[in-house]
Amino acid sequence: MERRREIYFLDGVPQVGTRYYGIVDQGTNVVEVRPTSLCPLNCVFCSVAAGPLEGRRWADFTVKKDALVDALKAVVRYKGDGVEVHIDGMGEPAVYSDLVDLVQDVKSIRGVSVASMQSRMFTLTERSVEELAEAGLDRINLSLDAVDPPLAARLANAGYYDPRRAMALAEYAVRNTSIDVVVSPVWLPGVNDDQMPKIARWAKAAGLGKRWPPVLIQKYIPHRRGRNPRGVKAVDWGAFWSRIRAWEAQLGMKLDWRGENPFGVERRAELPKPIKAGQRIKVRIVGRGVFRNEYLAVSNRLADDPLIDRAVTVISEKPLKPGDEAVVKVFEDEDNILMARAEVVFL
């Protein structure tokens, strides 16, 4: 099996329609922006199977900042005021080379009230944290699943990952800049149970949560396309919340924020759905998709309108190449993420 991975620097393609990059709308005032699928870690529980060691990935994506921002302007105009733009993706957004400019552009869009990002922070520096603050970044959701360095490196499957670096940068951010940091560890039952109270105590002592809750413990949910560590069993929601309440009692700290909406998430009109599940459409192949046998394609009829134009993920056992045209049947359209199967290919 060929293991070489291609990296695409995308411009001139629709920004809505795929999980790989671009804009994901879930019908709320929080719009997710995905600048890159690259990530330097290989977390053993990664829900999107990112990182250099993953054999199932055969391509990664980075988007040209201006193309992303142009499309985002149209999406924010459609959504109205009070929009949070959350920079995230199938990778680590902090490795995106235009991140500071992206934040600046995002924050200058009329209607954007909050700019936030997900990150492990360990690739940042004090200087880049300051630059992000100056550009207008309001919040970093810090992914940190262990404070003990050997366990953290084992979970990241990367000897070069040191959680102390991320923690020091988070402390620097909340003490010296306007950025708030919310730590969001994934609880892996039986693996990092003892780390959750340690993380929560550290967050409180470090002054995280200046404007938002300091700690949001995440439930481990196995994903079909993700990496699911052997021997780790996901608990059900009932067991999850009772464990959260037990930690709350132990720490004297609020960890259950259900019903309080501290992030101000509101329902907003979804983007139009010009292509729906069940439809057959003609597409042009742009290149590989992230996972083997997946391809990135664009609909053949583009309107030059970011609210209407769509990228499509095409699954094909038969190898396809850029420029090929195909008739595909769309089988999934949730949140305007279009998954399709190739039926007829015109080479």
Q: Judged by CB under 6 A, does residue 41 bind ligand SF4?
A: yes
DSSP 69-126: HHHHHHHHHHH-SSEEEEE--SS-GGG-TTHHHHHHHHHTSTTEEEEEEEE--TT--H
Residues 309-338 close enough to bind ligand SF4 by CB under 6 A:
none
| Binding segment (CB under 6 A) for ligand SF4, from list 40-48, 107-115, 316-324, 326-334 | 40-48
Among 16, 43, 63, 174, contact with ligand SF4 (rule: CB under 6 A): 43
How far apart are CB 170 and ligand SF4 at their closest, in Å? 15
In sequence order, which ranges of the chain are alpha helices (DSSP H)? 65-79, 99-107, 126-135, 149-156, 163-176, 195-206, 237-251
The residue from 57, 79, 120, 243 that contacts ligand SF4 (CB under 6 A) is 120
Asked if 39 interacts with ligand SF4 (CB under 6 A), we say yes
Which residues in 71-100 contact ligand SF4 (CB under 6 A)?
91-92
Q: How far is CA 81 from CA 77, 206, 216, in A?
A: 8, 33, 26
Q: How far is the CA of 313 from the CAs of 77, 152, 250, 285, 295, in angstroms?
A: 26, 33, 46, 9, 6
Of 51 and 274, the one with the shorter C-beta distance to ligand SF4 is 51
Looking at 14, 17, 51, 209, which residue binds ligand SF4 (CB under 6 A)?
51
50 or 76, CB closer to ligand SF4?
Answer: 50
Q: What is the dihedral of CA 38, 227, 88, 32, to 10 degrees?
A: 130
42 is a site residue for ligand SF4 (CB under 6 A): yes
Contact 318, 345 (CB under 8 A): yes
Residue with Cβ nearer ligand SF4 (42 or 299): 42
CB of 51 to ligand SF4, least distance (A): 4
Size, binding site for ligand SF4 by CB under 6 A = 12
Q: What is the largest CA-CA distance in the chain?
A: 64
Q: Which of 10, 16, 33, 46 binds ligand SF4 (CB under 6 A)?
A: 46
Segment interacting with ligand SF4 (CB under 6 A) among 45-53, 106-114, 193-201, 232-240: 45-53
7: helix, strand or coil: strand
Residue pair 36/8 in contact by the 8 Å Cβ criterion: no
DSSP 12: S
C-beta of 48: minimal distance to ligand SF4 in Å? Answer: 6
Distance from the Cα of residue 145 to its chain's centroid: 16
Please identify, among the stretches 38-46, 77-85, 129-137, 278-286, the one whose residues bind ligand SF4 according to the rule CB under 6 A.
38-46
137 contributes a contact to ligand SF4 by CB under 6 A: no
Q: How far is the CB of 220 from ligand SF4 (least distance, A)?
A: 11
CB 287 within 8 A of CB 59: yes
What type of residue is 173?
A
The contact set with ligand SF4 (CB under 6 A) reads: 39, 41-43, 46, 48, 50-51, 91-92, 120, 143
